[in-house]
Structure 1
Amino acid sequence: MAMEDYGMEPADAGPRETEGALRRLADVALLPGSLTSPQERSILDSVLAYAVTRLDATMRLRLAERLAPQADAPRELALALALDEIEIARPLLTEGLPLKDGDLIQIAREGNDDHRLLIAARKGLSSAVADMLIEGGDAALIETLLANRTADLSHRAIETLVRRSAAEPEFQAPLLARAELSVRLAQLMFWWVPPSMRLEILNRFTVERRHIHSAMEDMLDGRLADTALDIALSVVRRPRAIDKRRLAHMLGNGPTAHTEELTVGLAREANIRPETMFRILKDHGGEPLAVFAKAVGMNRKEFGDLIVAAVDMRKGVGLPAKADLERIGELFDTISTDRADLALHCWDTGLANEVLANGSGDD
């Protein structure tokens, strides 16, 4: 029966009494686990999570700072404070031990941009949380995440960002600095990055394959009936020199009227797709041309003739400047045949896989 039924007025607790009660509850909730039972701690956690907004901002900040270093701190309360205004949430979002991956994902979904930025910079961020941030993240958030070297980025996340970097170049340099970037994805990104990054990719993401070639010996020389597997294995086969007589014939056939013949002929000699060869010949940067020439064993004169043929194909569009010729000439001189062959077949494999994926998607 209510007190009013006995003619008694309830005693309203004022703000000071309310705050005092909540502080006492918080003190009890933060006692070592050995002093309270799990059930009691759970009750206190739920009550405090509901009522913590009654405390002023200064008290909420102090409470967040007390919770942050305690792995076994009340999680509901930690979650409520982590969703509070950003200055209160900061200690928990940057290094708060009570928050698990699921909590961080919830905060990222329910919080604002400031909450997400702090999560993206959080030390030791897991790939599950990073994936969620990338799915809906803007450029500033993703740049913060890429700059966080302690964050674990999944292969799927890196591939998503590599593809986005074609339209969002601000991702390119941070992606090149990530340890998770694979040879395949670096060579995919090669096609849309500026010349300095192209050279970095060719330096860092190509390798001499001596151990692979030694282990496999002549087992990979023949073509396989399984097209997809044959494409995949092309990146580990030994380089194959072009037939110089046929090369001289192709390059001496004249300019633009023989574009298709030259493209198909060079592709056949290098065992790559005509689409890949066409892309190499049409690329205005010129680095792919130097890589192709070195991969198939051309000498300097033959490389020069190839440049002339490629320029003729462009019909006056995107003609190389002197600096371009010096840059690709230096690349031709410094890259080894084996490393060039690896890059060439990474490009071809990437294009072939795109075609196969698009084809299977249409069925």
Structure 2
Amino acid sequence: MSEPVTKPEEAEPQGGFRARHALLKRLADVVSLPGSRVNAFERSVIGDLLVEMLRLASHDDRKRVAARLAPLTEVPNALARMLLRDEPDIAGLLIEQCASLSDADLVACARDAATEHRLLMASRRGLSEVVTETLMSFGESAVIEAVLTNTTARLSQVAVEGVVSLSRTDRQLCAHLLRRPELRPSGAYVMFWWCDPDDRRTILQRFAVSREVMQEVVEDVFVMASEENWQDPVSRKALQFIERRQRNRAAIEKSPFSDLEQAVEAAARDGLTREVATEIAHLAGVKPITGAKIMGDPGGEPLAILCKATGLAKTELTGLWRSMRRPELAEDGSPDPVWERVQVTYDMLAVDRAQTVLRYWNWSLSSALTPALLRVIREGEEDEVDDYSAPERAAMLALAENFGR
């Protein structure tokens, strides 16, 4: 048998074993042949042999093989699995360049390899929902941020909900998440409570949607529900979310104040007591816990939303602001930036859109609360989050800080 012709790159292999170096290259070349030259079974057998050799090969040899295989449309499965778990600079060649890797290959790599591998994978083009969900499940901020900024990656709603929850403590994720097309109003509304002013403005501009279409298609259903004396709690709750009127007429009959404006006037004159705050919440058509969350928010934008949604004028907004002893002027006499931002929020929102945000908050912060959910919020049993509905999860996140967590 004649000796093979020595090629230039085989002349001085690192490690001193010319035969091993040449064999690795030749086998990698054979694996790279088109299907017309090598069938699937032959490719698989060669791949198995390469795996055994690469276990003892040098770092440079493994890297050369990975670079040779990366452009292929078909890589033997065992060989791909091994190289994907190799050092990041080796695995990265396949992660970044190899289009033939399946979701199963990528998910297995994400689960078995290190953070560096997941970070490389997060920037890969065309990641599917199952892969991004796996990458994000580790809770690694750098990886999650890389996935969120990867415009070709697709996110599942489970993954989005997970990032919404993480953003409560990792605030830098908020801005990235708000750019994702997969984020829905339910997630944006609950994120609002811990977002910075710029992100809050983005949420209101993008997600404060109108209910006009819903109001048009269910107009006759209001009549039906009224004829049934509003006995069905399911339709009653949904119609309360859709209807145009925000203020609670029934609360006015029981209130010591003639209307919402008088309650606000009393607060501005005498200061905002717990009793008056509760009355304002009832008259505004929200539950006291929702009103407390709104009035206790340090940013102030929720107060502007409450006033706009209920038809209060800007003078009432000013009165409420003063009743809470919030500053209108900075120390140098210029307008206080927080108060300026609250007024801008009031001006930028239409009544209908402000009502959508307010009603979702009220829905998630009050009607979703049950004794069991309150226990989960107090005790921090977030592992049970999948057992709850979207508004219940929203309440769990938004109220967590109120319970000292």
Q: Which moved more, 1:73-82 or 1:246-255?
A: 246-255
Asked if the contact 2:247/2:285 (under 8 Å) is kept, the reply is: no
Aligned to 1:278: 292
Deviation for aligned residue 1:359? 5.8
Q: 2:175 aligns with which of 173, 176, 183?
A: 173
Which has the higher mean CA deviation after the structures are superposed, 27-36 or 234-243?
Answer: 234-243
Match of 1:48 in 2: 50
Whether contact under 8 Å (2:265, 2:316) holds in the other structure is no
Q: Are 1:261 and 2:275 an aligned pair?
A: yes
The one-letter amino acid paired with 1:306 is L
Unaligned runs of 5+ in 2: 1-15, 330-335, 378-386, 388-405
| 252-261 or 56-65: bigger deviation | 252-261
- Supply the distance in 2 between the matched residues of 1:344 and 1:272 (Cα, whole angstroms): 8
Matched residue, 1:11: none
**Structure 1 residues 97 and 210, CA, compared in 2 at 3 Å: closer, same or farther?**
same
Which stretch shifts more, 197-206 or 269-278?
269-278
3-state SS of 1:240 partner: coil
Alignment of 1:251 onto 2:235: no
- CA-CA distance at 1:208 after TM superposition: 2.4
| 1:61 match | 63
* Alignment CA distance shift 1:31-1:285 (3 Å): same
Distance in 1 of aligned mates of 2:69 and 2:171? 40
Deviations 1:126-183 (A, max 9, x none): 1212112212132212111111111111111111111211111111111111111111
Pick aligned residue for 1:300 from 297, 314, 322: 314
Three-state SS of the structure 2 residue aligned to 1:298 is coil
**Distance between the aligned counterparts of 1:269 and 1:287, measured in 2?**
20
Amino acid aligned to 1:348 = N
Match of 1:159 in 2: 161
Q: CA shift at 1:38, angstroms? A: 2.4
> How far apart, CA to CA, are the structure 2 residues paired with 1:288 and 1:152?
32
Tell me: CA distance 1:220–1:41, structure 2 relative to 1, closer, same or farther (3 Å).
Answer: farther
Deviation for aligned residue 1:230 = 4.8
Runs of 4+ in 1 over 6 A off after TM superposition: 255-258, 360-363
Check conservation: 2:85, 2:109, Cα contact below 8 A: yes
3-state SS of paired residue (2:259): helix
CA contact (8 A) 1:207 1:339 kept: yes
Given that residues 67 and 98 in structure 1 are in contact (C-alpha distance below 8 angstroms), is that contact kept between their aligned partners in structure 2? no
Match of 1:236 in 2: 242
Shift of 1:36: 2.6
Task: Work out the CA distance in 2 between the residues paired with 1:43 and 1:287.
Answer: 65
- From 127, 136, 143, give the equivalent of 1:141: 143
For 1:326, the aligned partner's letter is: E
Question: Cα–Cα, structure 1 residues 173 and 117, in superposed 2: closer, same or farther, change >3 Å?
Answer: same
Distance (whole Å) between structure 1 residues aligned to residue 221 and residue 351 of structure 2: 20
Q: Is the 8 A contact 1:82 1:89 kept in 2?
A: yes
Instruction: Measure the CA separation in 2 of the matches of 1:338 and 1:84.
Output: 56
Count of aligned residue pairs for this structure pair:
344
SS in 2 for 1:297: coil
Distance in 1 (alpha carbons) for counterparts of 2:117 and 2:272: 59
Match status 1:129 vs 2:131: yes
The aligned residue for residue 325 of structure 1 is 339
Displacement after TM superposition at 1:219 (Å): 2.4
CA contact (8 A) 2:24 2:65 kept: no
Cα 1:235/1:92, change in 2 over 3 Å: farther
Q: TM-score, normalised by structure 2?
A: 0.76
Deviation at 1:347, TM superposition (A): 1.2
CA contact 1:206–1:343 (8 Å) conserved in 2: yes
TM-score by length of structure 1 reads 0.84
C-alpha displacement at 1:343, in angstroms? Answer: 0.8
CA separation of 1:268 and 1:30: change in aligned 2, threshold 3 A: same
CA contact (8 A) 1:239 1:338 kept: no
Shift of 1:86: 1.9
1:358 pairs with one of 364, 373, 384 = 373
Q: Which moved more, 1:250-259 or 1:285-294?
A: 250-259
Classify the secondary structure of the residue corresponding to 1:245: coil
Once residues 360 and 232 of structure 1 are traced to their aligned partners in structure 2, the CA distance between those partners, rounded to angstroms, is 26
**Closer/same/farther in 2, CA of residues 227 and 133 from structure 1, 3 Å limit:** farther
RMSD: 2.9
CA distance in 1, matches of 2:217, 2:375: 34
Offset at 1:37?
3.0
Aligned partner of 1:344 among 358, 364, 367: 358
Q: 1:264-296 CA deviation, whole Å, 9 max, x = no partner?
A: 323333332211011112212111111111101
| Structure 1 residue 257: Cα displacement | 8.2
